[in-house]
Structure 1
Amino acid sequence: MIDVYYWPTPNGKKVTIFLEEAGLEYKIIPLNIGRGDQFSESFLRLNPNHRMPVIVDHEPPGGGEPISVFESAAILFYLAEKTRKFWPQALRPKYEVVQWVIWQAANQGPKLGENGHFRRLGDKQGDQSYAVRRFTDEANRLYGVLNNRLYDRPYIAGDEYTIADIISFPWTVGWEAQGQDINEFKYFKRWFDAVSARPAVQRGLAVGKDFGADSGDLPPEEQERRAKLLFNQRALPAPTA
């Protein structure tokens, strides 16, 4: 059994898509990031970076004590290695996958995340027009990177569907809210439609759809507490002896 500390964001859905594709048994442990569950002492013991997702595998390869893994890219590498699925191990195809997984974690995810942040923020923190333009253009560039990559191959790393596709896909589902028109990118759109049609992808995306967002129903003081918690974070104090 694999425990998944999860909230239905693109980073969380990378993991549930893999688990559904691989047919692994797992248990969702909701981690309400709007409420601040990620800052609890128990969760910080699993991920000192206070971000989800995190998995705890109670049946790790080779046996022994449960193993916990944080960071979505590391989780996918771990699960692919455990199951021997969606990550070819011959040298050249292996590193085709590795470089695109890291591309997603270092480029696509952070930049599209900033895009969403500033586009949702509006004018609550002053004029955001430069930031919106900056990250909308960067999102467009990244969709172009994928489009150019996919013009002569069915999947990101080549002929096989791999964790490179699994990690990249969830961040593209919100293309419209990112200010993009995927019809500009015909090779990307062909890939997007093919991955969207996979039943395991559909199941993975649906995990947590009923968790909902309750912030609009909260009293003003709780809304203010959450805003202070989630925006402009600074370093947590080190543990005391």
Structure 2
Amino acid sequence: MIDLYYWPTPNGHKITLFLEEAGLPYTVHPVDIGAGDQFKPGFLAISPNNKMPAIVDRAPADGGAPVSVFESGAILLYLAGKTGRFFAEDTRGQVEVSQWLFWQMGGLGPMTGQYGHFHVYAPEPIEYARDRYKREALRLLGVLDKRLADREFVAGDAYSIADMAIYPWIDPYKKAPLDLSPFANLRRWHAAVAARPATGRAYAVAERFDTQREMTPEMRKNLFGTPSEA
């Protein structure tokens, strides 16, 4: 059994995508980041960087004590190793999956996240930041579109943890949509992932916790600062 510490964000979706694809039993423990659950001592013992998602594997492959893992990319690698699925068996295939997983972790996620912050959440418009991160997000989408020109999935012919990591970060902000019309290969791939039954099940999990709330000063502090800030 996997204990999943989760909130419906792009990084949270990555893990439900894997768990639903693999059919692993799991229990969701909601971490309401707007309410500050990520700062509670019990969660920090699992995820010391106060970020979700995190997991605790109650039945690790070595039969030992439960294993806790934080950081979404590390969780995907752990689950792929546990199940032997969605990661290549050969060295070259593993390189393909790994480098695109880290491309998302180090590039697409952070840059798209900053795009969303300055277009959706910033208390006042900062045009330089808006332009900077929009251009970088679109550049990265162009890189992905080119990558998908001659292959079905990001790392080749097989669906992998690289696809699971990237998919939730494609145009995730409804209040500030990105123009995907120039990226035909990306749109084809995105539609194919969206059509997978496990993707539908993963996003159904999100609907259970997706609350629409007005941003309050306390929520802003919890999301973008620390509780110790004035």
- Same topology, TM > 0.5: yes
CA contact (8 A) 2:97 2:155 kept: yes
CA contact (8 A) 2:93 2:155 kept: yes
CA distance in 2 between counterparts of 1:146 and 1:193 reads 14
Q: Give the 3-state SS of the residue equivalent to 1:68 in structure 2.
A: strand
Q: 1:191-206, aligned counterparts within 5 Å?
A: 191-206=189-204
State, as a whole percentage, how many aligned pairs show the same letter.
47
Return closer, same or farther for 1:140/1:175 CA change in 2, 3 Å cut-off.
farther
Q: Provide the alpha-carbon RMSD of the alignment.
A: 1.9
Q: 1:87-166, aligned counterparts within 5 Å?
A: 87-121=87-121, 124-125=123-124, 127-166=125-164
Of 206-215 and 91-100, more deviation after overlay is shown by 206-215
2:221 equivalent among 224, 228, 231? 228
Q: Residue deviations 1:201-224, cap 9 Å, x none?
A: 1111221313233533x9xxxx32
CA contact (8 A) 1:73 1:101 kept: yes
Runs (5+) with no aligned partner, structure 1: 237-241
Would you say how many aligned residue pairs link Structure 1 and Structure 2?
A: 229
Runs (5+) with no aligned partner, structure 2: none
Q: Residue deviations 1:68-108, cap 9 Å, x none?
A: 00000000000001000000121000111000000100001
Alignment TM-score, normalising by the size of structure 1 = 0.89
Compute the displacement of 1:181 (Å).
1.8
Compute the displacement of 1:175 (Å).
6.4
CA distance in 1 between counterparts of 2:207 and 2:19 reads 17
Q: Give the 3-state SS of the residue equivalent to 1:207 in structure 2.
A: helix
CA distance in 1 between counterparts of 2:89 and 2:182 reads 34
CA distance in 2 between counterparts of 1:26 and 1:197 reads 22
Alignment TM-score, normalising by the size of structure 2 = 0.94
CA distance in 2 between counterparts of 1:174 and 1:28 reads 22
Q: Residue deviations 1:179-206, cap 9 Å, x none?
A: 4222210111111111110010111122
CA distance in 2 between counterparts of 1:173 and 1:4 reads 25
1:78 is the counterpart of 2:71: no
